[in-house]
Amino acid sequence: MGILRRNDPRSGFALLGMLLILVVLVAAGAIGAYVWQHRTSTTASTTGTAPAAAAGTSAHVLQLTQSDAQDESKIDSGADAQAQQDAQSANTAQSNVGGAYNETSF
Amino acid sequence: MKRVSNTRIASAVGVAAVGVLALTPATSMALGTTGTSPFCTNLPAKITATNTSVTAMTGKVTTAWSQQDQKLAADQQKVDQEVAAARATADQTRASDFTKLQAKATTPAEQTAVQTYISAVNNAVSTRRAAYDAARHAFRTSLADAISGRRTTVTSQMTAFQAAVSTALATAQAGCTANPANGTALRTALVASLRTARQTFQSDRKSDTAIGTQVQQFAATRKAAFQAADTAFQTAMQSARQALQTAFGSTSA
């Protein structure tokens, strides 16, 4: 009456199911660990690993000015998608000229 | 009996149809009462409608270009305002740091060193900002040139399209004047000409999207200019900082 009886074919399926669940759990854990590690390293690289310098020091001035430059650059790059959209904003009107008539209606 | 009856009916209908066709003038299906084909009769109205439509559509292109200019100007103005605001904030924060640095300077040598440092930092910031402004200006000039060039090309294509349409319509009109009964052949020729004109113009439109790629290239150029300015800025800042630390005899400054 044991769970895994040698001659019961269902016991083989139960074992297979447990193994499958185990594999899924291990895979999910591995993926989770990878994502967590990736996010941690990404956050570190974007925020900068250097600790914030004390205010009123040249190190702080350096950090501030570097940050200012990055912010300014982001303003420009952030507007690029809009500039691209603006540059193509007349394309529809240009294409519509070709649909000014239906020659088969003559 | 039923089959024989149907055959007779079919024969009678066939004979009647042949008789009607024989008695009817051959041109009656294509011509009006004056001998003019329906195509030629309707052509002047069709020409007017087509010309009106083409003119309206090209007018919408001009309107779209005007709106495009306004949108670009507004978006660039928004960038300028954001940059100006960011710079003003940065200036205030930096000034606050400078004040604290000046407070640390107790000897005349240190005070002089702080002043030198402040000037060097301000110069480096000004130089970096000027380089950014130049790169931004170059980006906008390139964008404006690309759009202008594109419009010149599209204008030329629209002119060619309108000319092809006008020629096709004029040819059809001349054909109707010369031979009003020749509607079928004239229509076939007109439809083919108009289709070719339209397809040529629409095929030209494939290159319209190229300007999107150009914008990306301009942005990449601007970004490279920004990075070059950043590198020079870093060098100047490090140099100024080193001189200050030397004057203070420590790295606390």
pLDDT beneath 50: ranges in chain A: 1-4, 40-48
pLDDT band of B34, cuts 50, 70, 90: low
The mean pLDDT value of chain B amounts to: 88
Distance CA B154, CA A94 (A): 8
A50-86 burial string, b = 16+ CB within 10 Å, else e?
eeeeeebbbbbbbbbbbebbeebbebbeebbebbbeb
Q: Which residue has the higher pLDDT, A32 or B105?
A: B105
pLDDT (mean) for B132-157:
97
Per-residue model confidence (pLDDT) at position B26: 38
Note the pLDDT tens digit of each residue in B151-206.
999 999 999 999 999 999 999 999 999 999 999 999 999 999 999 999 999 999 99
Q: Which residue has the higher pLDDT, A7 or B114?
A: B114
Percent of chain B with pLDDT over 90: 83
Per-residue model confidence (pLDDT) at position A52: 84
Note the pLDDT tens digit of each residue in B51-83.
999 999 999 999 999 999 999 999 999 999 999
Give A-chain residues touching B243 at CB under 8 angstroms: none
0.80 exceeded by the pTM? no
Cβ within 8 Å, pair A69-B230: yes
| Nearest-CA distance A82 → chain B (Å) | 8
CA distances from B154 to B198, B236, B244, B250 (A): 14, 48, 59, 65
Distance CA A91, CA B143 (A): 16
| Nearest-CA distance B25 → chain A (Å) | 25
